[in-house]
A and B are shown apart, each in its own frame.
Chain A
Amino acid sequence: AIVADFHKKIKDAFEVFDHESNNTVDVREIGTIIRSLGCCPTEGELHDLIAEVEEEEPTGFIRYEKFLPVMTKVLLERKYRPIPEDVLLRAFEVLDTAKHGFLTKEELIKYMTEEGEPFSQEEMEEMLSAAIDPESNSINYKEYITMMVIDEN
């Protein structure tokens, strides 16, 4: 019964991007689909997943028949769990070496584009537009997290 429920959830999410109604989606949308189903993989983990669901000779499209079993397994095994608020907060605190309670715009840009799995310019700009307080040119990460979490719910 749980599996049946997962199947329906996966189907719904898949169909949002199945523009031609032929049970395929563009591979570039797979990340969005997987994440909207509650998972929080790294880019690396995402690439591995894509490799699993791709065709032998990649066509640029992912078929539902291949996606469904893989995604079901991911949901059943509760892989790639979302990040709790406090863990996220601690990550910001690690970057805030001076313990100010905020990061400057330059610091944020440096970390997000040079460390970890770097942001693209688009991603960076989008994050800045919502996160940076234009007056102080910095991000009060505690407030930012709170705002984002509320918005999610």
Chain B
Amino acid sequence: GKSKAFKAAALIQRWYRRYMARLEMRRRCTWSIFQSIEYAGQQDQVKLHDFFSYLVDHFTPRNHNERDFLNRMFTEERFAQDSEMEKSSDFESIEVPDSYTGPRLSFPLLPDQATALVEAFRLKQQLHARYVLNLLYETRKHLAQLPNINRVSTCYSEEITVCGDLHGQLDDLIFIFYKNGLPSPERAYVFNGDFVDRGKESVEILMVLFAFMLVYPKEFHLNRGNHEDHMVNLRYGFTKEVLHKYKTHGKKILRTLQDVFCWLPLATLVDEKVLVLHGGISDRTDLEFLAKLDRHKIVSTLRCKMRKESTKQEEEKKTANQPSSAQEPTPWFLPQSRSLPSTPFHLRPDKAHRAGRSCSIPCPGALDRQELSRHARRSVDLELERCRQQAGFPGIKESEEPSPLASGPDPESGELLEPTQEEWRQVVDILWSDPMAQEGCKANTVRGGGCYFGPDVTEQLLERYSLQLLIRSHECKPEGYEFCHNRKVLTIFSASNYYEVGSNRGAYVKLGPSLTPHIVQYQANKGTHLLTMRQRISRVEESALRALRKKLFAHSSDLLDEFKKHDADKTGIISLSDWAAAVESVLHLGLPWRMLRPQLVNSSTDNMLEYKTWLESLAKEQLSRENIQSSLLEKLYRNRSNLETIFRIIDSDHSGFISLDEFRQTWKLFSSHMNIDISDNCICDLARSIDFNKDGQIDINEFLEAFRLVEQSCSEGRDSACPQSTDTSDGGPSSPDPH
């Protein structure tokens, strides 16, 4: 028989392995929470912009009131038409005071100055607006000369380092330069998009990246990411950061940035063998087409005015080909979406994500296309009529059906500056797509844009263009990198601790002449490496659970309704199993609720739960000392990001003010489609209470400040270790705004 020691050891090992397994499960669940909240936020974003885009394209103003209103809301400020004169005078007239102690730039830029910038930012200095604008001006000039697909060779600089998403986390960039070395003719770099948003130092990152690009144009390369997009920036914090740091010139900087972003190259090709781009590919990705299109026409991948006369041709082309990837989405908010086969954008995220092979994009050929478009037009009109009424515009009788496709190109509207549908789609695909393990290619419903592409799609592309590896970013990975598709696709993500301190490592990849990828990982943070895995997981988990509880609270009313459905006898009690089912059907996050249950629901007796008490405990955690009705607060919380985005869209000139009336009108339009039931009075009262000087104007920042105050006072009295929220709309996982 086995010795006693043997048996004892075996028992300890057995126990320990179980303990570690449970830890691993917690870690996975935590990750799911963060990811699903992040992607749900992105989806929301897409929905919001789809809504506005649709209005822009189909809402024909009937009178000057409507026209003015729309113009205020939707002015896209394009500066491609502006004269060079206007551009240069943008910054030359800005005076830099003698008291300014930050870095001063002179052009053409020298390597020393770029290095000095890094050092200055490390010391928390801020670059003066004049130099920012000057740098952006030079950057744009340089970028405009670059091809859509940069070609790089390892025979000049022996090694090329590719970095992924940084998302405003300057610490990570500084760490990379420290560990890997500063850019130089011998040390080439490719930064693969998503430099901004979420982290608090997006401006500084851009300055450094642009500076090095100007100094080492042959060795330093940038690809555009889906966050290099002013529409996305409205929601994810970059716009906020700029306006906060540059109170006088922020608007100008933002406008200039729009132009810089759309001139960023779309991809980089290393030695004709390794393709580096931000998101991914689709089964329609055509590198030759991508190389030839006018990339600067695509100002935002979220909103796109397209050339109308080509649309019809594109439609015909579409039905001829296999419909598989990112099609122009059917507006999700139209009644028709419910009666017709569900569009990709109407599926619940968890269902779509998990539906696997059974989820297919409706083939337009399956239904009579004429009937479809006629039906669509009728619904559109009805909906627009409702829009008008909601917004307080007088109802107009329509004599004929306006056709969305009929209006010819307006030669005055800068038609030449609009991309075609195919151009737009190709770019969206490479900036938004994610790889999946299954074969095939289907719409990326979780993000709301681009595709999921399978190993066969990768294989096809690599073969077609004689490539050996696809390097992309776009997705956070626990180890900072991940291979998939038979090691033909490498995801590289360089923002460590992205979701929370300790949540993940960052990584970069080095390629030598052999093009064998060599990965370097890191975690730019003080002290987490001293914690045991157990402690690290606990911290991150706590943060994820806080975010999740906040989301649960935000849906309290819906949850209550759903719980009641499971409680026919009105006992006030439901089973935990029912709880899990109810929560999923309300939140649509696709999370393993039964695994999470112990952390979300306090000790329940014999698998049953008093749901009202539980909802109350959630509320107690979230409510502030302010005397705001809980249901209003709940709804506002849920729509906080959307509210802020709406504000920023209305305030198109970034003045920081919008009128009560504008706010009210826009809110009505928006809330009716999102089925949000807050009475007009409530919103007005809230807005009015913010309008301190009673002049009919709302100071955006004050309004948002009110939310921050509420949020802060909620978390006061809790662990002060991590007072920031992990809501995707915030500036990101770092210390709270010192407002």
Q: How many residues of A are counted as interface, with CB atoms below 8 angstroms from the partner's CB atoms?
A: 50
A88 beta carbon closer than 8 Å to chain B:
yes
B contact residues around A121 at 8 Å (CB)? none
B20 touches A123 (CB 8 A): yes
Q: Contact: B10 with A117, CB < 8 Å?
A: yes
CA distance A126 to B16 in the complex (A): 11
Q: Report the nearest B residue to A46, measured CB to CB.
A: B17
B-side interface mostly: helix
Q: How large is the interface on B (under 10, 10 to 19, 20 to 34, 35 or more residues)?
A: 35 or more
B438 engages A36 (CB within 8 Å): no
A115 touches B14 (CB 8 A): no
Contact indicator per residue, chain A 1-29, by CB within 8 Å of chain B (1) or not (0): 00011001100110111111111000000
Contact between A129 and B437, CB atoms less than 8 A apart: no
Could you say which residues of chain B place their CB within 8 Å of the CB of A148? Answer: 19
CB-defined contacts of A5 to chain B, threshold 8 Å: 577, 607
B357 touches A22 (CB 8 A): yes
1/0 contact string of A109-144 vs chain B (CB within 8 Å): 001100111110001001101100000000000000
CB-nearest residue of chain A to B26? A36
Chain A residues near B7: list those with CB within 8 A: 91, 94, 116
Please report the C-alpha to C-alpha distance between residue A143 and residue B438 in the assembled complex, in whole angstroms: 48
A117 CA / B10 CA spacing, docked (Å): 6
The reply to whether A20 and B437 form a contact with Cβ atoms under 8 Å apart is yes
**Bound Cα distance A103, B109 (Å):** 63
1/0 per residue, CB under 8 A from A, across B14-50: the answer is 1111111110110011001000000000000000000
Q: Do B28 and A17 touch across chains, with their CB atoms under 8 A apart?
A: yes
Within B581-615, the residues touching A (CB, 8 Å) are: 592-595, 607
The residues of B that contact A41 with a CB separation of less than 8 Å are 14
Among A4, A22, A88, A151, the residue within 8 A (CB) of B12 is A88
* Contact of B710 with A by CB under 8 A: no
Task: Quote the shortest CB–CB distance from B361 to chain A (angstroms).
Answer: 16
Q: Is A48 an interface residue (CB 8 A)?
A: no
- Bound-complex Cα distance A18 to B32 (A): 12
A83, B19: Cα distance in complex, Å: 11
Least CB distance, B457 to chain A, in whole angstroms: 14
Contact B595 A12 (CB under 8 A): yes
B534 x A94 contact (CB < 8 A): no
Judge whether A116 and B355 touch: CB under 8 Å: no
**Shortest distance from the beta carbon of A8 to any chain B beta carbon, whole Å:** 6
Which chain A residue shows the least CB distance to B14?
A42
Tell me the bound Cα distance from A112 to B11 in angstroms: 10
B8 within 8 A of A: yes
Structural contact, B437 and A40, CB atoms closer than 8 A: no
* Interface assignment of A92: CB less than 8 Å from any CB of chain B: yes
Q: Which residues of chain A have C-beta atoms less than 8 A from B355's C-beta?
A: 21
- For the complex formed, measure the closest distance between the CB of A111 and the CB atoms of chain B, giving whole angstroms: 5
Complex CA gap A97/B141 in Å reads 77
Compute how far the CA of A83 lies from the CA of B24 in the bound complex, rounded to whole angstroms. Answer: 19
Determine whether the beta carbon of A35 is less than 8 Å from that of B21.
yes
CA distance A4 to B594 in the complex (A): 13
Of B24, B354, B533, B577, which one neighbours A8 at CB under 8 angstroms?
B577
Asked whether, in the complex, the Cβ of B8 is within 8 Å of the Cβ of A35, the reply is no
Q: Is the CB of A82 within 8 A of B18?
A: yes
B407: Cβ under 8 A from any A Cβ: no
Chain A: CB-nearest residue to B535: A130
A43 within 8 A of partner (CB): yes
Flag whether A56 is at the interface (Cβ < 8 A): no
Shortest CB–CB separation between residue B535 and chain A, in angstroms? 8
Q: Name A residues whose Cβ lies closer than 8 Å to a Cβ of B.
A: 4-5, 8-9, 12-13, 15-23, 31-36, 39-43, 82-83, 87-88, 90-92, 94-95, 111-112, 115-119, 123, 126-127, 129-130, 148, 151-152
Q: Give me 16 A-to-B residue pairs in the complex whose CB atoms sit less than 8 angstroms apart, sorted by A's number.
A: A13-B592, A31-B17, A32-B21, A35-B17, A36-B21, A36-B24, A43-B17, A82-B18, A83-B15, A95-B8, A112-B9, A112-B12, A115-B10, A116-B10, A116-B13, A152-B19
Closest 6 CB pairs of A and B: A116-B10, A116-B9, A35-B21, A21-B354, A115-B9, A36-B25
Supply 15 further A-B pairs (C-beta < 8 A) apart from A111-B12, A117-B10.
Answer: A12-B580, A16-B32, A16-B592, A20-B356, A21-B353, A32-B24, A36-B25, A40-B14, A42-B10, A43-B14, A95-B5, A111-B9, A112-B12, A115-B5, A116-B6
